[in-house]
Chain A
Amino acid sequence: DTEVTQTPKHLVMGMTNKKSLKCEQHMGHRAMYWYKQKAKKPPELMFVYSYEKLSINESVPSRFSPECPNSSLLNLHLHALQPEDSALYLCASSQSFRVAGTGELFFGEGSRLTVL
């Protein structure tokens, strides 16, 4: 079983809706990530939080808004999305790079988003 939990597993939303994806981990990791994955493509990095601060934003449109309320939680707020935003959204965590040796990424099962 994955130690990174994502909800919801599936989400269908209209272009005017506001929704949120949630992610939780209890491994004590201090780096958390959002990735977007389209069919037959590798995961594409969106955001990274390190010690609850946004450290990487890969030029993601403002209709995606990340939030890290505490070291265990990561949210992705969605507003005014487009049909091309339909994808699998993956949350991941890792030991922070401040720890000697980098840790691998642990992924949640993903939230499959469909924008109508």
Chain B
Amino acid sequence: RKEVEQDPGPFNVPEGATVAFNCTYSNSASQSFFWYRQDCRKEPKLLMSVYSSGNEDGRFTAQLNRASQYISLLIRDSKLSDSATYLCVVNHNYGQNFVFGPGTRLSVLP
């Protein structure tokens, strides 16, 4: 079993749709959680850190369920510019071992 798993994708959705990404992690010692987005042939960029209480930034909402070792990202009212690969990233024990999920590709269609 991979340490961090994500929906395989790709997700093709129309503009304005709501889309949800799921991520599970296997190491219960994981302490920090992030969503990154990566555009084609660009570097990953931080979208959101994920906090235990859940957090929201505009159209984006992240949730963490430590008991189920599950992280989610919800995008509301999706825009063409949201098209990218979304990477779930987990960090263990506040150390330097950031583990990346395989990513889920999103295409928002006009």
Contacts and interface: CB of A to CB of B under 8 A. Distances in A.
B45 A107 contact: yes
A100 B35 CA distance: 20
Contact of B43 (A42, A44, A56, A109): A109
Contact of A104 (B34, B97, B101, B102): B34
A7 to B, nearest CB: 14
Given A90-B43, A107-B43, A50 B96 contact: yes
Interface residues of B, number: 24
B95 interface: yes
Nearest to A32: B96
B96 A42 contact: no
A42 B87 contact: yes
A56 B93 CA distance: 15
Given A42-B103, A104-B46, A105-B46, 13 more contacts: A42-B87, A42-B100, A42-B102, A43-B44, A45-B97, A50-B96, A56-B97, A94-B96, A102-B31, A102-B94, A105-B89, A107-B43, A110-B43
Interface of B: 31-32, 34, 36, 41-46, 49, 87, 89, 91, 93-98, 100-103
Interface of A: 2, 31, 33, 41-45, 48, 50, 55-56, 88, 90, 94, 97, 101-102, 104-110, 112
Minimum-distance CB pairs A-B, first 7 = A42-B100, A107-B43, A102-B94, A48-B96, A97-B94, A102-B32, A104-B46
